[in-house]
Structure 1
Amino acid sequence: MKTYAVIGLGKFGSHVAKGLIENGEQVIAVDKNEDSIKEFRGICENLFIIDTTDINSLKDAGIAEVDTAIVSIGKNIEASILSVMALKEIGVKEVIAKAYTLIHGKILSKIGTDRVIYPERDAAKRLVKSFSLNPKFEVIDVTNTMKIARFKITAQYANIAAGDLLSRSKSDLKIIAFKRENRWEYEIGEFLVLKNDDVVLLFGNSKELEIFVSNI
């Protein structure tokens, strides 16, 4: 069994930590904020609220002995870089770090990060690939993480209520508009029955849209 430290329990870090725990791996979960730690009580034995730029704090938490440390600190680029440097200094075998920007990623690589990841960019690329494989879909970027998907209802999904279609995706996706007979409508109730050749605009984050597309 490999041992992991997940540093930074925001959205991405939480998903990583929970996934590792569900797979039976040994995880040390770390964040500087107590609120971020709360949801891990009861599922993770090793929880620490520490300054991850401090070498002694990392050692006291047992992080020097882990096989892999994953740094998932949000927009605080300085803390991310200093945490990676501290992890390398205490001899962690493998350090993986999330980059917030391309420049951030380049700096992480320069200071010896073993693997730099770009979750938002990679999710967007997978989403674009999903749409390219399914010509019924088009995607429009709203922000780095939020997208609008445009697709046409086929016979397979005709006569299904909008609420039922969304409930299948088990996500927070929203239908923000639909077109029927060349007329766009913007008030969509969950009981709206979709018809063949309706065009629907779905709004949500990259990951949820990726899952939705893969299930269509």
Structure 2
Amino acid sequence: MKNLLIIGMGRFGHHLCNNLIELDNNVTIVDKVEVNVTDMMYKVGNVQIGDCTNPKVVKSLGLEKFDIVFVCIGTDFQNSLEVTSLVKEMGAKHVISKANRDVQAKFLLKNGADEVIYPDRDLASNLAKRCSTNHVFDYMELTDDYSLYEIEPLQEWLGHTIKEVGIRQNYHITIIGIRNENGTDILPSAEYRFDIKDHLIVIGRQNDVEPMLEG
């Protein structure tokens, strides 16, 4: 479970919030318009009404307690930019801001965003899945049962080969690629030895992969 803050409860903010709740996260939501959060009051742990361009409002949120702050402000990009800059300046650990165009993304990244997402490219459910665990860098649902994950190797795998770990036999997943500072190795050999800097691209059933990544 992670402590997460969503600023801006428009359509994307709602979808993201519902998905994060389903994944058992502790979610706080903020919007300057009360009607935007009314339907969520009995679903989330904390609901705040306030304008997050105001430093006093932001300070009252206690940013240091949140693992991730999502800035999901809708049509007013100037407000989104101000809030992104302010929350980072006031101590947010990791800020993910919503952009509609590449030029917006560039400004957000220069003004405090650690990451930028595009609502028309990044499904709220995929973003929620990725941000609810410490081990998933990327996620894509392929079918009702199978998904593609980009993950870090488990601690107990480090220094061992794929064959020694018994990836398919013991974990029921398939490694289709390994990405690190040397590039990407497609369909790596069974003798490949896991390193802490590796990103593993794997396919597996959600029921097999997700319990493995818990914790």
Relative to the length of structure 2, the TM-score reads 0.55
Residue identity matched to 2:55: I
Residue identity matched to 1:89: E
Give 1:75-154 correspondences, 5 Å limit: 75-122=75-122
Count of matched residue positions in the alignment of Structure 1 and Structure 2: 124
- In the aligned structure 2, how far is the partner of 1:106 from the partner of 1:79? 15
Relative to the length of structure 1, the TM-score reads 0.54
Once the two structures are TM-superposed, the CA of residue 62 in structure 1 deviates from its matched residue by: 2.6
- In the aligned structure 2, how far is the partner of 1:85 from the partner of 1:119? 20
Aligned to 1:28: 28
- In the aligned structure 2, how far is the partner of 1:96 from the partner of 1:30? 15
2:3 paired with 1:3: yes
Aligned to 2:160: none
- The answer as to whether partners of 2:63 and 2:91 remain within 8 angstroms in 1 is no
Q: How many percent of aligned residue pairs carry the same amino acid?
A: 37
Aligned to 2:66: 66
Once the two structures are TM-superposed, the CA of residue 28 in structure 1 deviates from its matched residue by: 0.7
- In the aligned structure 1, how far is the partner of 2:122 from the partner of 2:96? 15
2:14 paired with 1:47: no
The verdict on how the C-alpha distance between 1:47 and 1:118 changes in structure 2, with shifts beyond 3 A counting, is same
Per-residue CA shift, 1:7-47, capped at 9, x if unaligned? 11111111111111121111110111111111101111300
- In the aligned structure 2, how far is the partner of 1:53 from the partner of 1:30? 12
Aligned to 1:159: none
The structure with the larger Rg is 1
- The answer as to whether partners of 1:5 and 1:69 remain within 8 angstroms in 2 is yes
Residue identity matched to 2:71: V
Per-residue CA shift, 1:61-86, capped at 9, x if unaligned? 23342110001111100100000011
Segments of structure 1 that go 5 or more residues without pairing to the other structure are 124-216
- In the aligned structure 1, how far is the partner of 2:37 from the partner of 2:63? 17
Q: What's the secondary structure of 1:75's corresponding residue?
A: coil
- In the aligned structure 2, how far is the partner of 1:67 from the partner of 1:11? 22
- In the aligned structure 2, how far is the partner of 1:55 from the partner of 1:121? 31
- The answer as to whether partners of 2:97 and 2:115 remain within 8 angstroms in 1 is yes
- In the aligned structure 2, how far is the partner of 1:23 from the partner of 1:121? 21
Residue identity matched to 1:58: V
- In the aligned structure 1, how far is the partner of 2:97 from the partner of 2:82? 12
- In the aligned structure 2, how far is the partner of 1:122 from the partner of 1:94? 18
- In the aligned structure 1, how far is the partner of 2:45 from the partner of 2:60? 15
- The answer as to whether partners of 2:89 and 2:112 remain within 8 angstroms in 1 is no
- In the aligned structure 1, how far is the partner of 2:100 from the partner of 2:107? 11
- The answer as to whether partners of 1:75 and 1:100 remain within 8 angstroms in 2 is no
Once the two structures are TM-superposed, the CA of residue 55 in structure 1 deviates from its matched residue by: 2.1
- The answer as to whether partners of 2:63 and 2:92 remain within 8 angstroms in 1 is yes
C-alpha root-mean-square deviation of aligned residues, in Å?
1.7
- In the aligned structure 2, how far is the partner of 1:115 from the partner of 1:46? 24
